[in-house]
Structure 1
Amino acid sequence: MSSGNNNHWTGGNRIELLENGEQFFPRVFDAIRKARREVIAETFILFEDKVGLQLHAAMREAAQRGVKIDLMIDGFGSPDLSREFIEGLTSAGVKVRVFDPGQRFMGQRLNVFRRMHRKIVVVDGERAFVGGINYSADHLLDFGSKAKQDYAVELAGPIVGEIHQFVLRAIALGGKGAGWFRRRLKLAPPVNQVRAGEADAMFVTRDNRRHTNDIERQYRAAIRAARKRIVIANAYFFPGYLLIKELRRAARRGVDVRLVLQGEPDMPIVKTAASMLYHHLLHAGVRIYEYCDRPLHGKVALMDDRWSTVGSSNLDPLSLSLNLEANVIVRDAAFNQVLWERMDRLMQHSCKQVEAADLASEWSGWRLVRSFFVFHILRWYPALLGRLPRHAPRLTPAEATDLASRRGSGRSDPAGGATRTEAA
């Protein structure tokens, strides 16, 4: 599903950072309830918990008063929605589409790779949300010690028109074809091109056809250009060799390079993989902070005083080489300052800084052997993963899949939260 992404700056935008579900969900649900014509939403995870039911109610209400609503969910990330949940949407007129639902073998899902990992909402072609937050109760603080720390952005201005065309194209290429896309654009109301603010923005996506490394290239270019500071907060950190090399080079030329990574991971392998890089990074002068309050789920970064990014893309093999992702890159001093203040607060009050002395207990011979293998994994995994089969997943109407007949372990009551964890 190609994005048609041109990677260019668009001026005149207003961009607001939203932190965690407490800020994100009320904004999105309110925007859906106030929609006049159209809502298009994509998400990796939708659980049938209190958050999923609020989304369900907002979409039903909007659809019943004539708003055209398209909801795309991922077949791997959202496999356990009940028939009642799906039919409650479709009976109101909501188009629910499943990205590559796949089949189960002995109860296990096999469609692990090349997932639709984006989190996007576009309302009336005038307002958009992009980030890393899924529709599940574990993005709320009252979920407890496993509540996720995460971020998204709300956008208004000309960049929303580009995001709108992207999501229309995603629906067309996934199911209805280019002819439907052209007709939909002709019928779609004019996108509001009025300036809403002063920020420049770039909408960057990753797919498995034409834009296989666009997000990573933007990261590397910004790291090369940095002269003052680099802060990357990323949930799943195991990037390729070229990005690691740029971080080390930046630190060695005097840039203050900081990584905020998981200290209380939702999956232990996440911390194990990232920690294999610690010696290599610390030796070059990179500072590493482990976020210890809760699982970190964010995918944000800032460089110097103007460049920032928020999105769905982790810096790991799945996001950089396999999944469909979407990030917004912002060129604006005010937004950069807000993101810096949030990251600084995290580092000051919720993180443990990793020191070289903390790692000194490892046997140096094992460290040498491990570094050799890690180096070659980082160097070759993007090319190797890229050779995995590039099937062309299609969007399937939810009622045409067996998704709605399952009530698996991710099902939970409206007052609670889902018990299953995804690499989300």
Structure 2
Amino acid sequence: MAHGIPPLRSGHHLQLLEGSVELFPAMVTAIDAALREVRLETYIFDFNESGAEVAYALERAARRGVAVQVVVDGLGSGDLPPAQLQRLEMAGVQWHVYSPTGTLGLLWPGQWRRLHRKLCVVDGAVGFCGGINILDDFHDPNHGALEAPRLDFAVRVTGPLVARMQETMERLWRRIEAVRRLRSAHLRGTLTSLRASGTRAAVPAPPVLSHGLPRAKAALLLRDNLRNRAVIERAYLRAIGRAHREVIIANAYFVPGARMRRALVNAARRGVHVRLLLQGRYEYFMQYYASRPVFGALLRAGVEITEYEPSFLHAKVAVVDGHWATVGSSNLDPLSLLLAREANVIVEDRAFAHRLRQRLLHAVQHEGRRMEAAAYDNRSRATRAKEWVALVLMRLALLVQGKKYL
């Protein structure tokens, strides 16, 4: 569905995975069992520590004849290690960089539109979606070693939505291939290739073998800059607007626009228990400080805000009324909701939502610091000045893109 929220479909098996410590072994197991193809997209591919295990699994798959296609973001992954790339390419791994930054970097307006989604599909039968980059839980590219693991989530899924994951990944791969060939001045060959790839027959996926009945309802939300510009935000707004008892949101970079702020305030005022688990440690200037001016209105409406403290919070998840949940790559900020390619899974399943809710509640109660309205109102002039500068920078970045959000 191009402009609306896709309907939830039944027939899914879902497994919530926390951090790379759970995601990477599940991915490696799936990749090692691959018979035909592996597709992977990620914002960051870091070869340190456990990230290398995923790279080795991709290499093993390619060496035994599996078609392996990887897309990484040109900003998030930066300059990849030449030795590692050479090793993967020699094994037969096909590798593309989405929107290389070039000499101007983010000074060029189009470079703010990034590939931020994290997807993996194996043999068209099992998929992974979430917020976790190919990055070890205890390593940060900008801050080095971490004392505690980064908090983030992904979901392993089998069922109907895996086909949509594969379709969108195939489409992006063909687009990157076309752009690369056009830049190489092979226009005739590109058009021929596009015609062939657009009409090729789909290879049937092998049957999914699993225990029990696949009962969970789920859908894949894909945000892009064409037809699906607001689908993830609409899904959040609909769930919050329908909430009766509880909304729990954990979000790394939380800079909600006017509609999202109104939805949260209105929910709190009608008696819904609204909890936000947000970034408590400084990571990036603009995202950290630009979020804080909106906290006042939320606190006054009765929204509870907890800042996660043990490590960096990278999660982009939510649970509403104990049955609706989402896990994905999209932050509730304008960089995600207006510019980046994002992917979230939405789930209607009480068992799945219960597990995610319990983990978030534990973090709220034992791993965070509750923000008090009085302390917020008494923050220093220096802090307020940083907030103002961050907001101006974010608005300027959006203005250059022709966007308005705040």
Same fold (TM over 0.5): yes
- 8 Å Cα contact 2:158-2:208 kept in structure 1: no
* One of 128, 153, 177 as aligned partner of 1:175: 177
- Cα distance change on mapping 1:325 and 1:13 into 2, 3 Å: same
C-alpha RMSD over aligned residues: 3.0
- Cα distance change on mapping 1:75 and 1:5 into 2, 3 Å: farther
* One of 219, 238, 243 as aligned partner of 1:202: 219
C-alpha displacement of 1:166: 1.8
* Equivalent runs, 1:331-410 vs 2, <5 Å: 331-362=348-379, 384=399, 387=402
Amino acid at match of 2:62: A
C-alpha displacement of 1:209: 0.8
* Residue 33, structure 1, aligned to residue 9, structure 2: no
Cα-to-partner distance string for 1:92-133 (whole Å, 9 max, x where unaligned): 11110111113124xx66464000001000001110000011
* One of 228, 231, 248 as aligned partner of 2:245: 228
- In the other structure, the counterpart of 2:146 is 144
* Equivalent runs, 1:12-27 vs 2, <5 Å: 12-27=11-26
- Cα distance change on mapping 1:109 and 1:253 into 2, 3 Å: closer
Separation (CA, whole Å) in 1 of partners of 2:256 and 2:15: 27
* Residue 51, structure 1, aligned to residue 50, structure 2: yes
Cα-to-partner distance string for 1:202-242 (whole Å, 9 max, x where unaligned): 10011111111110011101110111100000000002110
Where relative contact order (Cα < 8 A, 6+ residues apart) is larger, the structure is 1
* Residue 322, structure 1, aligned to residue 333, structure 2: no
* Residue 189, structure 1, aligned to residue 188, structure 2: no
* One of 231, 234, 238 as aligned partner of 2:255: 238
- 8 Å Cα contact 1:312-1:326 kept in structure 2: yes
Amino acid at match of 1:387: G
C-alpha displacement of 1:377: 10
Separation (CA, whole Å) in 1 of partners of 2:239 and 2:286: 28
Deviates more, 1:173-182 or 1:124-133: 173-182
Cα-to-partner distance string for 1:164-219 (whole Å, 9 max, x where unaligned): 222112212332475344344x1422464889521100100111111111100111
C-alpha displacement of 1:8: 2.0
- 8 Å Cα contact 2:138-2:146 kept in structure 1: no
* Residue 75, structure 1, aligned to residue 74, structure 2: yes
Separation (CA, whole Å) in 2 of partners of 1:381 and 1:218: 27
C-alpha displacement of 1:80: 1.6
Amino acid at match of 1:151: F
C-alpha displacement of 1:268: 4.3
Cα-to-partner distance string for 1:4-41 (whole Å, 9 max, x where unaligned): 99622111101111001111111111211111111000
Amino acid at match of 1:174: I
* SS of structure 1 residue aligned to 2:378: coil
- In the other structure, the counterpart of 1:402 is none
Q: Which runs of 5+ in 2 are unaligned?
A: 179-192
Identical columns (%): 37
- In the other structure, the counterpart of 1:302 is 319
Amino acid at match of 1:70: Q
- In the other structure, the counterpart of 2:182 is none
The TM-score with structure 2 as length reference comes to 0.85
C-alpha displacement of 1:328: 0.3
* SS of structure 2 residue aligned to 1:345: helix
* One of 235, 239, 245 as aligned partner of 1:218: 235
- Cα distance change on mapping 1:197 and 1:266 into 2, 3 Å: same
- 8 Å Cα contact 1:169-1:181 kept in structure 2: no
Separation (CA, whole Å) in 1 of partners of 2:82 and 2:379: 52
C-alpha displacement of 1:51: 2.9
- Cα distance change on mapping 1:88 and 1:6 into 2, 3 Å: farther
Cα-to-partner distance string for 1:315-362 (whole Å, 9 max, x where unaligned): 111101101100000011111101110001101110111111212325
Amino acid at match of 2:256: P
Separation (CA, whole Å) in 2 of partners of 1:88 and 1:363: 52
* SS of structure 1 residue aligned to 2:291: helix
- 8 Å Cα contact 1:22-1:140 kept in structure 2: no
* Residue 271, structure 1, aligned to residue 273, structure 2: no
* One of 139, 151, 162 as aligned partner of 1:160: 162
Separation (CA, whole Å) in 1 of partners of 2:63 and 2:344: 32
Matched pairs, number: 378
Runs of 4 or more consecutive aligned structure 1 residues displaced over 6 Å after TM superposition: 2-6, 380-383
- Cα distance change on mapping 1:222 and 1:180 into 2, 3 Å: farther
C-alpha displacement of 1:383: 7.9
Q: Which runs of 5+ in 1 are unaligned?
A: 389-424
- In the other structure, the counterpart of 1:422 is none
- Cα distance change on mapping 1:92 and 1:258 into 2, 3 Å: same
C-alpha displacement of 1:79: 1.6
Separation (CA, whole Å) in 2 of partners of 1:87 and 1:360: 54
* SS of structure 1 residue aligned to 2:91: coil
Separation (CA, whole Å) in 2 of partners of 1:387 and 1:218: 24
Amino acid at match of 1:155: V
Amino acid at match of 1:152: A
Cα-to-partner distance string for 1:250-301 (whole Å, 9 max, x where unaligned): 0000000010001113224433222211111001111101111111000000
- Cα distance change on mapping 1:6 and 1:309 into 2, 3 Å: closer
* Residue 284, structure 1, aligned to residue 290, structure 2: no
Amino acid at match of 2:26: R
* SS of structure 2 residue aligned to 1:137: coil
* SS of structure 2 residue aligned to 1:276: helix
C-alpha displacement of 1:386: 5.3
